[in-house]
Amino acid sequence: MLSKYRAKHSLKEWQNNVATLCVGNSRLMFSVSLAFTGPILRFVQGPKSGGFQIYGPPETSKTTAAIVAGSAWGCHRSEGRREKGFLESWNTTPAKAELTALAHNDAFLVLDETKTSGSDDSHRAKVVTEVTFKLAEHVEKERFTNQQSARAWREYFLSTSNLSLTQLAVRGKIGIDEADRGRLADIPLPKEGYGIYEELHGFADGSALSDALQRRSRKYCGAAAREFVRRVVRDSRAGQKALKAFLAGERKVYATALKSAAKAENLRPLNRVLGRSATAFAAGSLAIKYGILPWNRTKLLQAVLSCELDHLRHAAEDDLNADPVAALRSKLVKYLKDHHAGFMNLKNKKPKLGHHKLNAVPGYRDKFKRRRWYYLTADQLKAIIGVGLNADALKHQLADEGLLDKTTKGRFVVYRQIFTGGKGKKNWARVHAIKAAICRGSKADG
C-alpha cells in the first residue's frame, strides 16, 4: 500500500485538471477537504478517527468522488489496482483493516464499495460494522504474538456504498445505535443534480465528467498532499500556537454555523460527526490559505454544511422508513448491551425465594444447556418492544433463528430456574429466554 504514495505532475496541473472541476460540487469539495485532515489531527481537538460514507444508487459516480479525493495523496502502481487510484477495498477483515489503517496513519483512507465486503446481506453488515468499529478504535488489537506495544493510527476514512449504514443493518438483521452512526456518518447524494454532481462544468452528462475526473486523477496525483504536509510541518516548526489557533477558530466557525442551521430545521447533530466535519472544514480552509485548493472559504463552508445537513435529514428519514421489526430488534439489542452490567448473574448466585422480586433488576443472565442466556420478564420485554403485530413478528423471527426459546406448544414464555430455597417448580419463573448470541460481537455477549 505504501507504494501508492507518489506524485505525478505538478500541483498546478492537479489544480487545473482535477480540483477546479470540484467547484460547485459539494460532495467532491467535502471529500477533497477530508483528504487533508490526517496531517492536522495532532493539532486539533475532537475525534481522531471515524469516517463518512457517500451512498446512493449504483452508477451515480460515488467512486469517482472517492478517486478524486484520493488523488491528493497518490495512485496505486499495479495495473490491476491503478484503475481505482488511491482507493482500498471493503473486501477486508478487522485484522486486515488494522494493517490498512496503519498504512494510512496521519494521511487519508478510502474504502470503496461496501457490496464487496461479504457474500450476503448478513455478512456485509457484520463486516462493515466490525471494521468501522476497529478503525474508530484507532489502535491495533493486543496479541500474544506482538513483538512490541500495540500500534495506533490517526486518520479519517471515506467509504462508498449503494446503501446507508442503517439500510445495511436492516438487510443484515443486526442492531445499530447512535454510537455506530457516530463512527460512520452517511452522506446521501445531492437532492437535485446529476448523480453526485450539482455542476457539470460543460460536460455532456455525469458519465462524461466522471470519465474525465477518473482519468485525470490517475494522471495528476500526489502533489497536493505533499505540498500540504510541507507547509504544515513548516508552520508547526515555526510555532504550533498560531497553527492550532487557526484550526480551532475554523472549527468553531463551522460548529456555530452547523448548530444554527440544524436548530432551524429541528435536527440534532451527533457530536462526533460534527467534530469530524468541523475538522474537515478546518483542513480545507488551511489548504485554501496555503493556495492548494482553488476555491474560497465561503463555498467550502456551504459545501461541508450541505453534506452534514443532508446527513442529518436522511438519518431521520432512515429511522422512520426502516423495517419496523428490525427497529424493534435494534431496541432490544441496545437494551441488552446498555443494561448488561445490571443484569443479575444467576451463574454466580441465585436469589432466595421470597427475598427477591422479579423485575427488581433490569434482567437476568445465566448459563443453560451450555449456552449463555438473558432472561426478561413479560413486563420487561413489553416495555422494550411493546405489543402488536411487529412485536409478535420479532418474537417469531428470533425463535426461527434459535435466539428466543419457546415451549413445545409454541409459546414464547418459558420456565427457567431463578430462585433457591423452595421446592420443585417454586424456584422457577416464567420468563422470555434470549440467547446472548443476539449481541454477538459486543461486550454483552457472555
Share of the chain above pLDDT 70, in %: 96
pLDDT at residue 198 in the model: 97
Query: In Å, how far from its chain's centre is CA 133?
Result: 7
- If you search the block for the grid coordinates 451527533, which residue do you land on? 270
Residue 403 domain flag: yes
Instruction: Give the whole-angstrom CA distance, residue 75 versus residue 87.
Output: 8
Cβ neighbours around 214 below 10 Å, total: 19
pLDDT on residue 323: 65
Count of alpha carbons within 13 Å of 393, Cβ hemisphere only?
Answer: 10
Q: Smallest Cα–Cα separation from 350: which of 297, 416, 395?
A: 416
Last residue of a domain, one of 285, 301, 321: 321
In a domain, 42, yes or no: yes
Strands 371-376 and 428-435: antiparallel
Q: Per the structure, how many domains does the chain have?
A: 2
Indicate whether 446 belongs to any domain.
no
Does residue 348 share a domain with residue 290? no
The last residue of one of the domains, among 321, 340, 357, is 321
The rounded distance, in Å, linking the Cα atoms of 153 and 425 is: 56
For residue 252, give the nearest of 301, 295, 315 by alpha carbon: 301
- Same domain, residue pair 403 and 280: no
The length of the chain, given as a count of residues: 446
Checking if the pLDDT of 444 tops 50, the result is no
Q: Are residues 219 and 352 in the same domain?
A: no
Q: Who has greater pLDDT, 436 or 442?
A: 436
- Give every CB contact of residue 289 below 8 A, 6+ residues apart in sequence: 246
Mean pLDDT of all residues in 421-441? 86
Span 168-181, mean pLDDT? 86
Based on the number of CB atoms within 10 Å of its own CB, is 390 exposed (0-12), middle (13-18) or buried (19 or more)?
Answer: middle
For residues 338 and 387, state if they share a domain. yes
345 and 276, same structural domain?
no
Pairing of strands 371-376, 157-161: unpaired
* Neighbour tally for 339: CB within 10 Å: 17
Residue at a domain's end among 259, 290, 321: 321
Specify the higher pLDDT residue, 34 or 80.
34
* Residues 317, 268 within the same domain: yes
pLDDT band at 446 (very low <50, low <70, confident <90, very high): very low
Do 67 and 44 sit in the same domain of this protein?
yes
Q: What pLDDT, in 10s, does the model give residues 334-387?
A: 999 999 999 999 988 899 988 898 889 999 999 988 889 999 999 999 999 999
Give 231-244 pLDDT, tens digit per residue. Answer: 999 999 998 999 99
Q: In terms of domains, do 369 and 233 share one?
A: no
For the whole prediction, is pTM greater than 0.75? no
In the block, cell 431496541 appears at 331
Grid cell listed for 426? 417454586
Is 300 a domain residue?
A: yes
Cβ atoms of 128 and 168 closer than 8 Å: yes
Do 154 and 215 share a domain, yes or no? yes
Distance between CA atoms of 277 and 300, rounded to whole angstroms?
A: 12
Same domain for 316 and 342?
A: no
Same domain, 264 and 194: yes
48: CATH: 3.40.50
